[in-house]
Chains A and B, each alone.
Chain A
Amino acid sequence: MALLDTRKEDIEHHLSKYPDKRSAIMPLLYIAQEEYGYITEEAMQEIAELLDVDITHVKGVVGFYGMYYDKPKGKYLLYICTDLPCALRGAEEFSQHVCEKLGIQPGETTPDGIFTVENVMCIGACHRAPVMQVNFHFHENMDEEKADQLIEDLRREVKATEPYRSE
């Protein structure tokens, strides 16, 4: 299914925002990521054609920005800030806890395909560290207990929304 079939309205909305359609590349990449979980080769090709640019350019944009993924990742992308301000408030230990709980290293995805953990640079919540984002939504003033609970909740949510299958 092409993006234009499933997300035509959103795509048109973004195209209408800019005098030069190439500017829509970033919102369109987000749309692809929402649709497929990551930015597939086909999606890049489709976006290249929609915007009249070479696919090399699309790849280069995907590769430049940290929030785009050209490989499958977990259904829940957990961003844990371990940058200096957060590290001063225990973020590194917090990240370690979450990783141990999930049995993976930062940057990895759980074997069931549900969680990916990434230690990220400052995300603007230093005053509420430790902080974690789940698919770019903030969860602030975290501690180990809250994290455990959150992970349980998310797991349950996946079960409830079967038939989710991992890649």
Chain B
Amino acid sequence: MADTVKITIDDIEYEVPAGMNLVDAAKLCGVDIPVFCYHPKLGYAGNCRMCLVELGTPRRNRETGEMELAWFPRLQTACTQTVVDGMSIRTRSEKVRDGRRIILELLLSSHPLDCPICDKGGECPLQNLTMEHGPETSRMYWEDKMHLGKHIPLGELIYLDQERCIHCARCIRFQRLVADDPVLGFDQRGRRQRIITSSTPPFDSIFSGNTTDICPVGALTTADFRFNARPWEMVQVATICSHTPEGSNMYFDTRPDREAGGRTTIKRVMPRQNEQVNEIWLSDKSRFVHHYMEHPDRLTRPLIRKGGKLVEATWEEALEEIARQLQAAEAEVAGIAGGRLSNEDFFAFQKLIRGQGSNNLAAYPARVAGAEFVAQVGVGVGTNFLDVGEGDAILVVASDLHEEAPIWWLRVKAAAERGATLIVLNGRETRLDKFATHRIRYAYGEEVATLNAMLGSLDDEHIQPEREVEGLEETLRHARGFEASPELAAAAKAFAGAENAILIVGGEGVGAETSHNLAQAASNLLIATGHVGRPNNGLIIVWGAANSQGAFDMGIHHRYGPGYQPVEQPGLDYAGIIAALKSNDLKALYIAGADPVFDDWLMEEALRATNAYIIVQDMFLTQTADLADVVLPTQSIAEKEGTYTSGERRVQRFYQAIEPIGESKADREIFLTLAQKLGHGEARTVAGLIFNQDIAGAVPQYAGITYQALARVEKQFPDVGGEDLYYGGTSYPNRHGLGVQWPVAAEDESAGLVVRPAEAGSRLTATDSALVVVPVTVLYDAEPVMQKTQLLRQRVPAPYAALNPADAARLGIEAGDMLEITSDGHAIRVMAVLDETAPRGAAIVPRRLQAQGAPLAAVVAPVVRLERIGA
């Protein structure tokens, strides 16, 4: 436990952690010091002057040599103080109350007092603190007030009301300190001072929505929620972000809506505090993308192909037909499930397919692999990036974390700022480099070799496995065959020597095979350096979808069943399924919650060519669904309940927020109905029962976890936005569960650890006419859910390839040119963007900006200029 000090608040003595901010310490003691500009996640700025207290600090009397309390003659700002032993404050004296009253009166002297039409009304710190501490009337003449702009769009997402702004600078500080997008600032000075942004595009930050939460007044509001509903009319339904793998906790704020014919609709998404997951932050994608869930294009009824066309059918009809097809196919079926399904869905899905006697199961996207390594050496239970700092290390390889997992990016960056050693290995510069202690560039293709070389460079002193490791000798010998530059060796040493070390493996440029090997190499490095089996040590894989971890945990894999238990007869993996489709070795394919055709032209080719019966289950008529024989309408996360497992293996619950759209059903329900029809056994469709009984029984790692335990909450600190809206946040309190992390094998000290040489690929090299085409992930891509969300769609860039200007010059390419890149017989068209951060010889091509718009893994491919578009 940290040291404590004694402080006195209003004549009562308390013991609080040393080094704590005085406002936080008082809060811990149950004393609210009102604040506007101070925020525990942003530190102090001392500008609002609301937190004035009488302050006495211990000083040595020059004459007597005794310590005595010296009271400052003036009121002091509590937010700028750190507690010291013997400090004393008064928070309730006449003087303090006067101080608060005048500060509030001064703030209100410029305030428009338009609370009745303000989105923040009802959850506004200014309103609340005025009730509690403010003057009853204002002496300011109404007509003397400053008049400023009221509806200023800072971008498509955020609006500014300059009159309501109280200049606390929280938004500016958030953008600068937390998001590292310093695109907000003050302009002018004095009373004319105001918030501006001048970035292109405006308010250029993927975290912009957070500013509306921390704004202590209604100055910043979202385009999403403006004038939409009143906070007190809404019901908060706990949910989990279903788009990226961090497992961000959030709320759907819902309300019956007249425009929707009385249906309950989602009015807004708010962060739900979970200090171990997303703290109080959300990416804008998490916050704003929900509109697709209630989009009119949602599928409402099953569709069956008749006469070459998909026509509406009844559930009865569709399920009968599917059952008949599956029955006939017997074990010649395969299943592909996308990573937005819940654990219960996945469990039911594998039960259905395995019930057929088939292990042909693939999770989608299939390009990121290695979950079995996570099951061995994933980060220890209790891991929290907030606890990582000085003395610890984080290694990130093959990931642009800012795009792949924004919340992890925030937290890794913050850990680096607290002093953690940050090692970034990638083929190009990413937004994490700026915070890194070691930045290492490899040539694409050498991802695994680079990790191997790190391991190989370590001397005996740094090879410190904590227990018996099988295969260590051989693996080390293999690793020593890879050469490490001095920088890489230094990074390896720093990693090995760190108190705690986390290794994050991403999916940039790599495909399933390399990804698997990368996880092996990562696991080797962690085991050999003793960084496994403890909190804040171990492996995290940046999955391509929100619940990919859950998919693997539930056994959506051709080689292992639920709980990573090997199957006797391995089935086909994703690539194997494509091959079998083409050769007509499969009779039926079931694709649930995945749109592989959008990514993969080989899949399209296979689906067009095959005779197999194609079942697609989705929310929209995706490109994959378009090729199906039958399409089943399924539900979004808002319409059902269940659990997700985050990339840190935290199992978390989400709840039903709205009524199902049309006749859509939950994925699990469809699978289980079919399983029953096929005679695979009794169907239990209630999510909680599946979790508590089926999953607990089949997945050893989940055995100790109950649905109820997932809903458990405990007091979190800082207590942001409790009932009292203390720190002025909106809807942060988590009343619905903090989730439970499942333990990995290495956490059992008696469990053996295994390392194996990680097979390394070789460097990809550009030629005279061909470049190394590297697929990378971007947050704002053109996948269907983004397309259906007007607000975010505007930020999705046109498909492009980023080239190094030197390569462009060599190939006669100018910015704006239309390029054609051909690989594997498939051509894509993208616009040329010149970018110094693109390495020489490479073309960086974002995935999913258009259908089949990038190769699945890095390849060497000719890049040809088609036409000159630019001037």
Contacts and interface: CB of A to CB of B under 8 A. Distances in A.
Interface in B170-184: 182-184
B198 A59 contact: yes
Contacts of B196: 56, 59-60, 63
B189 interface: yes
Contact of A56 (B188, B189, B198): B198
Contacts of B93: none
A77 B393 CA distance: 58
B148 to A, nearest CB: 14
Listed residue (B184, B197, B198) with the most chain A CB atoms within 10 angstroms of its CB: B198
Contacts of B184: 56
Contacts of B185: 54, 56-57, 59-60
Interface string B186-197: 111100000011
Interface string A39-67: 00000100000000111111110011000
Contacts of A44: 198
B187 A59 contact: yes
A60 B199 contact: no
Contact of A55 (B188, B189, B199): B199
B653 to A, nearest CB: 40
B186 A60 contact: yes
A64 B189 CA distance: 5
A59 to B, nearest CB: 5
B198 A63 contact: no
Report the contact-size class of chain A (Cβ under 8 Å from the partner): 10 to 19
A63 B189 contact: yes
Contacts, number: 37
Contacts of A59: 185, 187, 196, 198
Contacts of B198: 44, 54-56, 58-59
Interface string A96-133: 00000000000000000000000000000000000000
A120 B197 CA distance: 28
Contacts of A64: 186-189
Contacts of A58: 198
B182 A54 contact: yes
A118 to B, nearest CB: 16
A101 B154 CA distance: 43
A63 B188 CA distance: 4
B97 to A, nearest CB: 35
B72 to A, nearest CB: 31
A63 B192 CA distance: 10
Nearest to B190: A64
Contact of A54 (B183, B186, B187, B189): B183
Contacts of B188: 63-64
Contacts of A60: 185-187, 196
A146 to B, nearest CB: 33
Interface string A20-42: 00000000000000000000000
Contacts of A57: 182, 185
A53 B182 CA distance: 9
Contacts of A63: 186-189, 196
B297 to A, nearest CB: 37
A59 B202 CA distance: 14
Contacts of B186: 60, 63-64
A57 B188 CA distance: 12
Contacts of B183: 54, 56
Given A55-B199, A56-B183, A60-B187, 13 more contacts: A54-B183, A54-B185, A55-B198, A56-B182, A56-B184, A56-B198, A57-B182, A57-B185, A59-B196, A60-B186, A60-B196, A63-B186, A63-B189
25 contacts: A53-B182, A54-B182, A54-B183, A54-B185, A54-B198, A54-B199, A55-B198, A56-B183, A56-B185, A56-B196, A56-B197, A56-B199, A57-B182, A58-B198, A59-B185, A59-B187, A59-B196, A59-B198, A60-B185, A60-B186, A63-B187, A63-B189, A63-B196, A64-B187, A64-B188
A-B CB proximity, top 4 nearest: A63-B187, A60-B185, A56-B185, A56-B198
